[in-house]
A and B are shown apart, each in its own frame.
Chain A
Amino acid sequence: MAVETQVEMPMARAMTSRERRWRSWPQTPSLVFLVVLIVVLCVTTPGFATAANLRGVIEQVAVVAIVALAVNQVVLAGEIDVSTGSLVAICSFVYGNVALSQGGAWLPLCAALIAGGAIGAVNGVLSTYGRVPSIVATVGTQFILRGIVLLAGGAQVLNLAVDSRSFGAGAPLGIPTSIVVLAAIFLAMQWLSSHTTFGRDIYAVGGNSRAALATGLPIHRIRLLTFVLSGVSCGLAAAVLLGQIGQLQATAATGLELKVIAAIVLGGTRITGGRGSNVSPVIGAVLVGVILNALTLNRVSGAYELLVLGALILAAVSFEGVRQRLSGERN
């Protein structure tokens, strides 16, 4: 049970309400970190500050960011979903096969969304009504789903036709479709969080589940729905992923789940729930994308890629920790 420490508080420092709110935004430190990094890269790395390159970076993080936006809601509600790698793979499999047999993009998308949502619901039921800790339940489904994809799709070669790739390839309005999809999801989540009862209830449940229960909020149902959301987003991410690469690979999106979680926590969402914003996962994902891009641009050997990434993640995380300590906040 989370009980606040009853340490007597000092007289509050004079700070305007707005300044305090800006400072207490969960995404502020990572945003500052990202801006500084981008400024440094613009100066030091030729070829970084071109529109095409930046567009490329966002395109590449689109899949992670789309999933992270939804998993962010799961985390905000106080749960976690580490099955997203396999979920994206199985949704890709569904999308690919429907696209192959029926053609088009919308019908496969619907199929992938339904498949993702259904599996997300299973995750949700297990973690809420089944009382299996979500980290275990979703590790379990991650194993199961990957096994199924490998068995069903391992030997299958799927080359998608151009009209089935419209969610990840091409730029009909001058902006790559995957960026449009990402932006749409971001706006949808933003609307969900700020203007719907469900969206606010997620914060309530994650921030204080006991009080939420006492208020009569259906906490199980709310959490379950966030898992469904996560599943549906995996369906969408699968459509974008397949659109981008054009072929189905049974090992696709392996390890995606940790990238997603990394994006979420890097962006400043509290891993135990209740605190964070929709900007967080996007910033986190873009941060990782920018770092990887800068490494390739600077022709850093692949051997150092993970080292630099790890050191920067640690730096960003430490920065947040030090900030919290200085401002006297608790995690």
Chain B
Amino acid sequence: MSTSDGWLAAALVPLLALVPVLWRIAYGSPGDRLIGQNLTSLLAGLVLLLAAQGFHRTSYNDVALVVSVLGPTGTLIYARFLDVLPDSRLVRWTALVGVPATVLPLCVATGPGRAMAKLLLIGVLLIAGSVVTSGRGAREGVTA
């Protein structure tokens, strides 16, 4: 099976960024841990997109699609039970910079068509999910 090492090397960047995130999740304050959880699903989505391109398997993008839908859902579930939804500039900027930096080159490599629209959709979902779950003033108390 042929792989493109360039894309896989690019996937290594968000993958390695998960190492400090794990540290924060394991030992941080509740707010930090939630930010870490949010960041994890965002970075995992990017890794999956790059890996799909690296393996030349467009169908692997479905995994990234599911992450982009379920990741923010998971974060909001934790926010509901931990009673915090911290404002995080880190998550917001990672999404606003990292997602276009990943998705746009992928789109160029894919070429126009349905696959590109799907990539853009995943990118938009990732950005929207991260921005909403890290928004300012979202810490308002939630109870159940």
Partners in one complex: no
A residues with a Cβ closer than 8 A to B are: none
